[in-house]
Structure 1
Amino acid sequence: MRRDILKAAGLLIVGGLLYWFVTRQFHLQDLLARGAYIRVDAQRRPYLLALRGPDFTNRDLSLLHTIPTLERLFLEGCTVDDDGVASLMRLPRLMELDLSGTAVTDAAMPQLASIATLESLAVDDCPGVTIGGLEKLAQLKELNRLSARHVEMNFADYRRLQNDLTTVDIRASAESLLQLAPEDVWRAEWFEAPPRRCGTIRLSTRLDARRVTVDDLTAIAWPEAVAAIDFGVGTDLEPGVIDAVRRFPQIESLTIAATIDDEDFATICSLPRLKMLQIYSSTITDEGLARIPVDAPLESLRLRTGRLSTRGMAAIVRYSRLRFLDLSRHQTSPENFSRLAVLKELTSLSLIDCRLEDDDIRFLEDMGTLRYVDLRGNPLTTLPTGLIDSLPDLRQIDLRNTQIPQPDLVALNQTLHRQLLSNRFPLLLKFWHKDLFEYEGPNGELMLRDPFRLHQVYR
């Protein structure tokens, strides 16, 4: 009797496993036939499944428990609601879930909050999800990314949610948070700079915007949300606009294409958190540049003033924290440019069309921290092999539109081989010639006929 019971139990277990296996295989084949995308690991176990489109429904989710190895599940645009979400609680390894464009509502949030392994969740374009529902996700200890674009909330709601989910990178619709209207001159997007800042926004003028007024800035309801402002090309600034920028306490990045003067520049220099500044047109004089504070936090500067004197350059090099500097099209003496060598943290330098000749760029050999150098449009006649050899971390040098003749490239083989053997980074050289080769070294050379040459060199 006991033997019969054990035999029946064994048959039941084997039958269950066989049913599970067959059901799983048929389900996977059915999903693939209907356009699903599946990835498997080295053991041929499915770990990613993408079901996109209205043809996939709650019924498909009800059978996913036969694939317990699933870690990433994408259900964008599927005909799925709260009942379908309940089936996902049977996936023990689920870490990433995309429910964008589905019919899920706040009622599904407690069920999602019970999936302890969940690290990333997207509920973009889900009309039934509100800020109140998202707050119920606070108990997910592993959650580190939440995408809730087009979920209705303003910046005050967003900040409250960020306080509840302190370790989560939350992405919502930037224009919605600032409550921008279609007729506004602004478009908004998330501002990201290393390290990533959650909850800060970049404002940029729309392409059809021709003038920015003070009212356009004062109309922004939550200025503390804005970390970057870009006044684009072709946009005129009403007097007082630069002063109005000071009402944005978190500004770290500012781009201005309109012409500014010394007073505007002094206002900009007073911004306490400014790290990135791009000025494309100005009438800034040496007196204006002299107002740069010694302790300014600026790390990136693109400045087009037309001419720099010794006094103006002395003011710029006081930005001791600079990592990126663009002084393109400035007309000044080579000796004045050589003062840049005191910037010990500079990694990127752009000197386009500065009328620098071969001997004028020797000062760059003493700037050992440089990784990116742009010398386009200068009347150079020989390859700067000394510069290439002197900079141990050099990754890119742009020599397009110079006067370097083709025969000089023959030296690439010996010069760059030697430099690359001691350099842990690949080096990218850009040239503009008619009939030159693309150097791949040290694996060989490839002849190309295009007028634009990209010389990519690997170790």
Structure 2
Amino acid sequence: VGAAYALLLGGLPALVALAAEADGLAALAALQRAEAAIKLDADGLVVEARFKGPKVERDGLTALASLPRLRSLVLAGCDVNDEALALLAPLSTLRNLDLRDCPVTNAGLARLAGLEHLAALRLSGKSGVTQVDDGGMEHVARLMGLRTLMLDHLWVSEAGLVKLAPLADLEEMTLAQTLVRDDALAVVATFPRLRRLRLAKTAVTGAGLAQLGKLSRLEDLDISEATALDDAALEPVGRLLTLRKLNLWRAPVGDTGALHLAGLVNLEWLNLDNTLVTDAGLAALGRMQKLSFLHLGSTAVSNAGLDRLAGLAALRDVSLTRTAVDAAGAAALQSRLPEA
């Protein structure tokens, strides 16, 4: 009765509002049936839907079009294929879309072209079901608002990255275990706003890393498990003075390479786990007064080298697992680090 009375008073606008409310309730019911986790804003409207999969029913995806403030959709690991991507086309408010390890192909990406406000697209081929390669990049390039693009474990190379040239506002790109080599880094270096770059498990060398000097805003570089690296490859890395985070886990570099990093005075996070660094290499860290996290696990570091860390006043988290450092050495270091 109350709703009908409101319609009489409000006319068509009230009818539209009531219909929208009904659609919203129906959408929530569909999401509940799909066991999707949701986040609400201060007005109680859905801003994120996270499907746990692997099975996602069609009505769960169709219902999303009735959510006027949906910003984030997480479908990672779900059985969402190219046909299902067509159901996402009406989601004009979407800013984040996570399709990692979904069975989508290049053709499916073409169906996302209408998501004009999309700022983050997350893809990954780690499980092997995502069949996206260089050919799909022409469709990704139409998403002009992208700030974050994740392409880990996909068949993407320099030929595909060239197609992404229209994405001038990219700030984050992940390319772990892709076909990226040195020639591709010349393309990566053309994205002027890039802040975060992941090149883990790629075949890049020092020649390619030298191209990154053009990225004046680069803060986070991951070259872990890049087995083609050597000590000389860290020389151009040492010139990336804007770096705040550097991941060298399982990179084949040692003391000579570490010394190239001595000028990275803005580093706050450094992972040297499973490298060839010894006590001598720790001398390179002396000027890193902003360093708060340091991983030295599985290195040849011993008690004798820890004196070189004592002057790092900001250091709060130091990992010395599987090293020659004993309990006494660790305790002595902790006593000299005010933040640890």
**TM-score category (smaller protein):** 0.5 to 0.7
TM-score, with normalisation over the residues of structure 2?
Answer: 0.65
Q: Aligned partners of 2:188 and 2:264: how far apart in 1?
A: 22
Question: CA shift at 1:231, angstroms?
Answer: 2.4
Q: Aligned partners of 2:90 and 2:148: how far apart in 1?
A: 16
Residues 169-214 of structure 1: CA distance to partner in whole angstroms, max 9, x if unpaired? xx677379xxxx9643689xxxxxxxxxx85113212533365333
Change (3 A) 1:272 1:381: same
* Structure 2 SS opposite 1:223: coil
Specify which of 189, 192, 198 is matched with residue 278 of structure 1: 198
Change (3 A) 1:343 1:221: closer
Partner of 2:334: 416
For 2:97, the aligned partner's letter is A
Deviates more, 1:282-291 or 1:247-256: 282-291
Partner of 2:284: 363
The answer as to whether partners of 1:348 and 1:372 remain within 8 angstroms in 2 is yes
Deviates more, 1:121-130 or 1:235-244: 121-130
Change (3 A) 1:225 1:154: farther
Point out the structure with the larger strand share. Answer: 1
Specify which of 320, 325, 329 is matched with residue 246 of structure 2: 325
Change (3 A) 1:240 1:397: same
The answer as to whether partners of 2:189 and 2:211 remain within 8 angstroms in 1 is yes
Query: Is 1:347 aligned with 2:274?
Result: no
Q: Aligned partners of 1:337 and 1:297: how far apart in 2?
A: 22
Question: CA shift at 1:227, angstroms?
Answer: 2.1
* Structure 1 SS opposite 2:260: helix
- CA radius of gyration, larger in: 1
Q: How does 1:30-429 map to 2 (within 5 A)?
A: 82=18, 101=28, 119-123=42-46, 127=63, 130=66, 134=68, 146-147=69-70, 154=89, 157-158=92-93, 174=97, 183-184=104-105, 199-206=118-125, 207-209=127-129, 211-220=131-140, 222-233=142-153, 235-237=154-156, 240-256=159-175, 257-294=177-214, 296-303=216-223, 304-310=226-232, 312-382=233-303, 385-404=306-325, 408-413=326-331, 415-420=333-338, 423=339, 427=340
Question: CA shift at 1:372, angstroms?
Answer: 0.7
The answer as to whether partners of 1:308 and 1:331 remain within 8 angstroms in 2 is yes
Change (3 A) 1:381 1:413: closer
Change (3 A) 1:99 1:387: farther
For 2:213, the aligned partner's letter is P
Question: CA shift at 1:300, angstroms?
Answer: 0.6
* Structure 2 SS opposite 1:212: coil
TM-score, with normalisation over the residues of structure 1?
Answer: 0.50
Question: CA shift at 1:232, angstroms?
Answer: 2.5
The answer as to whether partners of 2:179 and 2:202 remain within 8 angstroms in 1 is yes
* Structure 2 SS opposite 1:301: strand
For 1:248, the aligned partner's letter is L
- Tell me, which stretches of 5 or more residues in structure 2 are unaligned? 3-16, 31-40, 48-59, 74-86, 110-116
Change (3 A) 1:388 1:239: closer
Question: CA shift at 1:417, angstroms?
Answer: 3.9
Q: Aligned partners of 2:150 and 2:104: how far apart in 1?
A: 18
* Structure 1 SS opposite 2:188: helix
Residues 25-84 of structure 1: CA distance to partner in whole angstroms, max 9, x if unpaired? xxxxxxxxxxxxxxxxxxxxxxxxxxxxxxxxx9xxxxxxxxxxxxxxxxxxxxxx949x
For 1:419, the aligned partner's letter is L
Q: What fraction of aligned residue pairs are identical, expressed as a percent?
A: 17
For 1:306, the aligned partner's letter is A
- Tell me, which stretches of 5 or more residues in structure 1 are unaligned? 1-57, 59-80, 86-97, 104-117, 135-145, 159-170, 188-197, 428-459
Question: CA shift at 1:324, angstroms?
Answer: 0.5
Question: CA shift at 1:298, angstroms?
Answer: 1.0
The answer as to whether partners of 1:357 and 1:379 remain within 8 angstroms in 2 is yes
For 1:101, the aligned partner's letter is L
The answer as to whether partners of 1:223 and 1:249 remain within 8 angstroms in 2 is no
Change (3 A) 1:101 1:250: same
Q: Aligned partners of 1:294 and 1:201: how far apart in 2?
A: 23
Q: Aligned partners of 1:221 and 1:351: how far apart in 2?
A: 35
Question: CA shift at 1:370, angstroms?
Answer: 0.5
Larger RCO, structures 1/2 (Cα 8 Å, 6+ apart) = 2
The answer as to whether partners of 1:365 and 1:386 remain within 8 angstroms in 2 is no
Q: Aligned partners of 2:337 and 2:315: how far apart in 1?
A: 10
Cα RMSD after superposing both structures: 4.1
